[in-house]
Each structure stands twice: as C-alpha cells, then as structure tokens.
Structure 1
Amino acid sequence: MIQEIQIYNTLTRKKEVFEPLVPGKAGLYVCGPTVYGPPHLGHARSAISFDLLFRFLKQIGYKVRYVRNITDVGHLVADADEGEDKIAQQAKLDELEPMEVVQKYTNMYHEAMALLNLESPSIEPRASGHIIEQIEEVKKILNSGYAYESNGSVYFDVEKFAAENEYGKLSGRKIEDLISNTRSLDGQDEKLSGLDFAIWKKASPEHIMRWPSPWSDGFPGWHMECTAMSCKYLGETFDIHGGGMDLTFPHHEAEMAQSQAAHGKPAVRYWMHNNMITLNGQKMGKSLGNAISLDEFFSGNHPLLEKAYSPMTIRFFMLQAHYRSTLDFSNEALQASEKGLERLMKAVAKIDSLPVSESSSVNISELSANCYAAMADDMNSPIAIAYLFDGVKMINSIADGKSTIAAADKDSLKSLFNTFVFDIFGLKGEDQAGSGNSEVLNEVVDLLMKLRADAKANKDWATSDKIRNELAAIGFDIKDGKDGVSWELKK
C-alpha cells in the first residue's frame, strides 16, 4: 500500500518526496521533553504532530522505528553552557534527588500522553543512560579537529567547522552575523569564541549530576545527547529528525554540526519541525505567566480556562491545524473543536445503522482518495478532516433517506472512518477513554432496537413505546425513518 508522500524539509525549505534509506522502512528521531516540570500544551503539540506522522507511515505500510528521548541531564537554564541544570534546580526547590524529579515528571508526561492517546515510541532512551555513548562521540569530534579541551570542558569549535562546512543552514543564520554578535564575549571565559558550545562540561563543586570522563568529572552538553542516541538506535545517517520549531537553533543546528564532525557525513535526510502555540497571539511560556499544564486543561483548574477540556478535544484541536502553522489557543477555539469532535463521533456511530440500497448515490472511493492525498501532502490533517466532514454530510444524508449507499460501499465507508478517525488521527470517543465498552453498548442498543421492531411487528405497541421511552429517558435519540430505525446517544 506504500504510496508517494511529500514532507517539508526544514533544511531545504521545500516539500520533498520522502525516499527512505531502506525501502519500506523509516527511521524517526524526535526530541522529547526535559523532565523538570509538568507537561504542557507545547509538549502535546510536538508529541501529537509526530504521533500523527508515526501512525500515518505505519498505516501506508512502512515499518517505522520511532525514537523519542527523555532529557534528564545536561539541559542548563537559559539553554546555555553556564548555570544550573534545570533538573538539579528543580530538585533543590522540591527537596528531592534529581532522579526523583526525573521520575516524577517522566511519569506525569507518560500519563498525559496516554490520555491524549499517543502511541508509545519504539525506543525511549534517557540521556543519563547513554553517557558512555556521548563520551565516545566527544572523542570522535576531538579527533576530527573540530573541538578542543579547556579546563576540563570540551567545546565545539564553531568557526573552524564553519570554515570548512556550512553552519547555520538549518536555521537560516549566517555565520558572519553570528560571529559579529558574539565578538564581545571572546576572552571572557574558557571558550575560544562565544559561538562555541559545550559537548562535555566540567562539573563545578556544587553540581550534583556528574560522571567520570577522560577530561573531568562532568556531564554531557545538551546537544550531544541527541547526536549520540540517534546514532546508536538509527545509525550514522537516518531518515527523519523532528521536534519543535524553537529547537531549530541552537539545538538542532548544533546536532547537525556535531554529527558531521564526528562521522564525516550528514546524519539527517529530512528535518521536520512543528510550529508553536500562542495564547491570543502571544507565545505561551512560564516566564510570561500564561503557561497552562495539560492537567490544568483536563481539570479546568486555571484562571484562563472557562471549563475543563477533555484530552480528545485537545488532540482534535491540534489536528485541525497543520503541524507547521502557528496554533492560537482560546476558549472559543477549543469549544468549537469540542463541538466538531462530537459531530464527527456521532456520525461514526451512525454508520452501522445506515440503511443499504442496491446502488449508491455517494462516491466513497473519491472520498477515500481525497483523505489519503491530503495526508500524503505533508501530513495535511486539517484538509483530511475537512474531507471527513464531507463524509459526515454523506452519512447524515443517507440516514435521512436523501442519499443511498450499497452494502459494499457502506463497508468501505466504515473502514475509511475507522482508519482515519481512530488509527491515523488517534481519536476515540470519550466513553471509550474509560471503559472501552462502546462496542458492547452498540450491540446492546441494537438488540433493544430488534426487540422493539419485533414488538411493533406483533402490534405490541406498549412494549415498543416502553423501549423507546426508557432509552430516551437515559439520553438516547431514537428516529424512525422510512428506511428503518436509527439511534444516537445525546450528550
């Protein structure tokens, strides 16, 4: 079933046909969270964007190895080479060991991702579990001549690398501008240039998280972990590297340079970045005081929220925007998504009870082709969703007796909606989130509908009306049409 798909490559600034290194297989690495606080909407945007890619690649026949890391060491405050480790800083505030902080917030991240119905990655490595691999990468870069040791730390020599390779091409930065903006820093610390970044950092006496190395007791630089772990699990060159747009510089730019220096060739063939989430046009962030955790969304416990929003509402809200577009949060937008999701799920529930005819007046093949074409065009989920809502109109038209559908087309329609709504978009009805008994519920109600039909056939109007009235009392809407009976569960 594998078809040609196009993805936007940040490196080349254009859509390209995806041609994996190994036909039928895809290697995907995505930067996961730094686990020093509760998961928030930004974490969800990146995770859902690449969960969508993971699901779609598998659906069209690829065997995918999806690696998403956990950063539990080396990410310093202000994303810099100086200062305290973000996790160690939180450990002091919480009066916990750093790895207690890591475990606490990793658990919270996993719980939130499960509620959002994310599939688990194939491998989820932790930076602290790959110190040996990171030390080996540092050695390779030193041997290549693109790094130097200074007072027990090892720094990547950006200007030397840039003299022989392109630096800044991923983020669109010019090395000349970067150099001019950092000249004032030269000579003020142990770096040759303010542009240089740590690939191994000597630990200060008060630094809690440290490991022995040939250069000092210290810890790896933030950028080094992804280079080492992607290489270990996907090879020196692999297909796709993903992450948030805010990681393009310096993190991914540094990764790209490190890998080239260590292995003498580019590591990544396609760079994919999801865009940011804003709040009424302003970037969401802790420092701005407008960050909202996922738990606060699910509970409604935040002054900016008018109500609680379910995990599936959050997921559908994000899928309604293209992963490369800015997504502006508002209560109005989430409530519109909530209504749209409810309409979609009601239509899915109606398919089984649609009356069949000898011929169809609807074109399911065209609908299916449009949905797949939208997704093959750089994961264009909002266009695919728009086509699904064309399908919703079809379903309602058939249910109302205004259109007809043959049995084979009805099966195709059900398969299409199940594939896109559940398998690719990863949505599920809210009743499925807890009990998983929606299929049993459908069977029970269908059985009651059959008993009611039998009662009507026997002119047992009292039993027929009792079944209808009792179901209506607990929230079911029963409709008798010329082509049969249909039902749905009202909210």
Structure 2
Amino acid sequence: MELYKQQKIKIYNSLSNQKEDFIPLIEGYVGMYVCGPTVYSNVHLGNVRTFMSFDLVYRYFKHLGYKVRYVRNITDAGHLENDADVGEDRIAKKARLEEIEPMEVVQQYTVDFHNVLRKFNLLPPNIEPTATGHIIEQIEIIKNIIDKGLAYEVNGSVYFDVLKYNEKEHYGILSGRNIEDAIHNTRTLDGQSEKRNPQDFALWKKAQPEHIMRWPSPWSDGFPGWHLECTAMSTKYLGEEFDIHGGGMDLKFPHHECEIAQAKAHNNVSPVKYWMHGNMLILNGKKMAKSTGNFILPEEIITGDNDILSKPFPATIARFFMLQAHYRSILDFSNDALEASEKGYYRLMNAINQLKSIEPSKASTVDVGLWRQGCYDAMNDDFNSPILIAQLFEGVKIINALVDKKETLSSKDLETFKNTFNVFIFDVLGLENVTSVDNSEVLNNVVELLIKMRNEARVNKNWALSDQIRDELSAMGVHLKDGKEGTTFTL
C-alpha cells in the first residue's frame, strides 16, 4: 500500500485560515505551483527560505508516493517597480543601468538563482516556465475576460474591472479585505487616471517609447501584467483547478488575490484548493534591507564574506537552521542562532555515523513503530519540520542508548529505525552530511590525544587536570565514557 494512503496530511489553508485535511483533486496526484523569482538581481535569503519551505513539501509528497507536478515560474518580464501598474520594469531598469540587453540580465540572474538553490540542495521543479514564453496564452486570457465584460481597454492598456467582478464574486476572499480597503496604490501616478476605479489592475500595459521589453497584441505593443503571468502558467500546466499554490506571505495581496480574480473570471472556477504562504525572514531582529546594511546574500553565508557572521557556514547547516522554524513563523537569522544549529546538526550527523555500526539483538526494548509514526505525525501536521527535528533528536537518544547497550533492537526493528532516520534527514529534510573525512580524522586524532593526556593525568593522580579535560570536552559536545576496554567518546 502506498504511504499516502496510510498518512493523512493537514494543511493550513490561507483561504479558510485553518488547517484542513489534504484531499487531492485526483487521488495519488498533487499539482503544486509556487511563485518563482523576478530575475533582476541576486536571489535573497528570504526567497531561499520560501523556496526551501516548498521544497520540503515537495519532498514529503514524493516520499509518500504521490506523483507530483511541481511548477515554479521565472518572472522575466512585466514586473514593475513597487509592484505597481505603472513605472519601469525591474529587469529593463537593470539592463539600462548595466548597459546590456534585458535578456542578458534574465540569463545572469536565472543562472545565479539555480546555482544558489542547488547549493542549498533544493530539488528542481518538474516544470519551470517563463513569463516571456507564455505571452500568447496571456493575450488569449485577456481576450476572454474582455468578452465576459470583466476587463476594459483604454489607450492601448487593458485593466481588470474589480468592481464589476465584485458584483458577483468576492475580491478580497484570500486576504480578507473588503473592496473599499483594496486600494493598494493610492499615490498619484502617471496613467492612474486611465482606470475606471483605482482598485483595477493591469492585464496588459501599452509600452512607452522608451520601454525595451514589448510584444504585439490586439491592443498595443506592450507587456503583460505581473499577476496575469502566474495565472497563465499555473493553469496551463496544472489545469483550471489544482491542489496547492504557494508563495511568500507578501504575495497574498495583491498578487494572489488578483490571480484568483483573473482565473475565476477566465475559467468560472476558483483555481486553487489550498493556498499556502511562508512567513518572512528577519536578520538580527530587524527587517532585511540593503539600504540599512542589515542584509546578507545566501552565497555570503557559505563564503564567510560578510560582516554579520563569525565564520563561513556550509549551506546545509543554514538549511537545517531554517527548517528548525515552521514555514508559517517569522524566523530571526543571527550568528548565535546559526552556531547553535551547527552544534545540533553535527549531533545528528554523528548519530547517523554511529548508527552504521550498531548490531541487532534478538529482541527490541524500544518501540520503533511509535517513534517512526511520530516523525510522520510531525510532517502530517502542516509540514511541521521543527517537531520532526525534535523527534529525530529523540532518535539520537535511542542511538546513544543502543551504543551504551542500555537498549536493544531486533534485526527488523533496527532496519526500520535506520531507514526512517536516514529518510527523514536526507530525503525529506534534504540535509547533506558535510563532515569531511579529513576534518573527521583531525578531530578524532585531537580527541584521542586529549584522552591520552587525561589517562596520564589519572595515572599521576592529577585528578584536577583529568576532570578539567573531561569537563571542557563535554562543554564542546565531546562526551567521554570510561569502560573496561578504555575510554571512548561520542559527539
């Protein structure tokens, strides 16, 4: 029997603001769309956390045996500064400043995006469509919405008529806003007067003469609205209705709200069953911002080329740190927090290494089935990675007890325990064992030297030095154990 038939998942649905049983539209299949990056600059750490959260979701569905189609787009056009309906395209602006072609900007930062996510061990999506590759689909959607009387053209631009839509549907159903609260841009801007109502948003914008990125359409040479791109790509590859749509909390309004309105106007159905939103990442208790210097790039964590962290950290440790918080909670990134995670990470890796050498016994004194189900229960509860990690550390206690011969496992239970431990650490959490052989050997040699010095101190009845070595090693996470065959240590 497939695992997904045994495990029942609950997902916090932003549409209902409560946890709901996950029941896919088609049994055994999951369709998931996640809003990807706008590729005009290096991917920032907050983006990495969001994509990592949905990588966890993707990995768990795959582990349960679901056939998953995971679609994550690349926004390479149409995203204006400040998420407005007028102004300069972010990619075109970067191209102008760098004096290169817009598609050079797109290529450079798409490659950077892929490289960074690969270093953090994120699985690639099944489909990664681009906005510029789906202009035709977007134009067809606009035509249909106009034909239904829910969009209008003015001066070569096309706007979605929010008030007309709201006569029969609820614009604000996701964000919980009323129509009068839905004015997301109250500044006086060029072109604002084109709209019938300030709440209306652009489906197509006529390009000004200086605008580089443009395509022909029935209304003008122009470019699609940012919100429309995701509707076109998600419904093309996942259908008019699909299971999960994910993204950062900051996209809930207006982006995702507009997606719902467009898709419902176009297809007459609500497009998404479960809306999932990841929370923000802050740095040292404050919002990340380049302008204040309170900012770090993902690559800078790995290289140590920054003024925030005390040393470089492997990407997998940063991944472990981020997964120690639930995806819906705010996470404060700091040097102290990362160092604490590093210690926990190496405890897990050491336990994995110890597990390899444990031999089975005739009978079990540990209820492996109960511990194993605890791992599933954590992930089944809205993908609760911190609870899963806590359960894995309960597994570390079991390993230590097995090493000390205080507990035993039968051959079958030991195999189940090893498999479960490895699956959740490496396949579900996506961690990597980065302890190099060289570093491991050096560490072993240093500890063995200190054990030898301690033994000599004990022979010389220098109990103070003996205790000092033991206690200081213990404080560093190295625990000595004296036995009949000598002194051994665990990390």
TM-score by length of 2: 0.87
Find out whether 1:393 has 2:397 as its counterpart.
yes
Match of 2:110 among 106, 109, 126: 106
Find out whether 1:224 has 2:224 as its counterpart.
no
Q: Which residue of 2 aligns with 1:375?
A: 379
Quote the offset at 1:360 in angstroms. 1.8
Separation in 1, partners of 2:406, 2:187: 73
Q: How does 1:16-415 map to 2 (within 5 A)?
A: 16-178=20-182, 182=186, 189-415=193-419
Deviations 1:143-187 (A, max 9, x none): 111110010000011111112210112111111223598598899
| Runs of 5+ consecutive residues of structure 2 not aligned to the other structure | 445-477
Quote the offset at 1:281 in angstroms. 2.6
Separation in 2, partners of 1:95, 1:186: 26
Q: Which residue of 1 aligns with 2:453?
A: none
Quote the offset at 1:344 in angstroms. 0.5
- Determine if contact 2:30/2:67 at 8 Å carries over to the other structure: yes
User: Once structures 1 and 2 are overlaid, which stretch shifts more, 401-410 or 150-159?
Assistant: 401-410
Quote the offset at 1:356 in angstroms. 2.6
Separation in 1, partners of 2:266, 2:219: 18
Q: Counterpart of 1:305 in 2: which secondary structure?
A: coil
Separation in 2, partners of 1:296, 1:277: 16
- Determine if contact 2:86/2:191 at 8 Å carries over to the other structure: no
Quote the offset at 1:11 in angstroms. 0.4
Separation in 2, partners of 1:160, 1:224: 18
Task: Give percent identity, aligned residues only.
Answer: 58
Deviations 1:221-245 (A, max 9, x none): 0000000000110001111000000
- Determine if contact 2:171/2:257 at 8 Å carries over to the other structure: yes
- Determine if contact 2:184/2:254 at 8 Å carries over to the other structure: no
- Determine if contact 1:355/1:484 at 8 Å carries over to the other structure: no
| Runs of 5+ consecutive residues of structure 1 not aligned to the other structure | 446-475
RMSD, aligned CA: 2.6
Quote the offset at 1:248 in angstroms. 0.3
Q: Counterpart of 2:307 in 1: which secondary structure?
A: coil
Q: Counterpart of 2:218 in 1: which secondary structure?
A: coil
Amino acid corresponding to residue 285 of structure 2 in structure 1:
G
Deviations 1:204-229 (A, max 9, x none): 00001000000000000000000000
- Determine if contact 1:25/1:63 at 8 Å carries over to the other structure: yes
Quote the offset at 1:305 in angstroms. 2.1
Separation in 2, partners of 1:100, 1:188: 31
- Determine if contact 1:182/1:195 at 8 Å carries over to the other structure: no
User: Once structures 1 and 2 are overlaid, which stretch shifts more, 118-127 or 88-97?
Assistant: 88-97
Separation in 2, partners of 1:417, 1:216: 58
- Determine if contact 1:137/1:262 at 8 Å carries over to the other structure: yes
Deviations 1:54-91 (A, max 9, x none): 01011112100000001100111111111111111111
How many residues are aligned here? 452
Q: Counterpart of 1:403 in 2: which secondary structure?
A: coil
Q: Counterpart of 2:65 in 1: which secondary structure?
A: coil
Deviations 1:112-131 (A, max 9, x none): 11111111100000111111
Amino acid corresponding to residue 161 of structure 2 in structure 1:
D
With over 3 angstroms needed to count, the CA separation of the structure-2 counterparts of 1:109 and 1:482, relative to structure 1, is farther
- Determine if contact 2:263/2:270 at 8 Å carries over to the other structure: yes
Amino acid corresponding to residue 232 of structure 2 in structure 1:
A
Separation in 2, partners of 1:26, 1:180: 33
Q: Counterpart of 1:273 in 2: which secondary structure?
A: strand
With over 3 angstroms needed to count, the CA separation of the structure-2 counterparts of 1:216 and 1:245, relative to structure 1, is same
Amino acid corresponding to residue 403 of structure 2 in structure 1:
A
Separation in 2, partners of 1:183, 1:97: 31
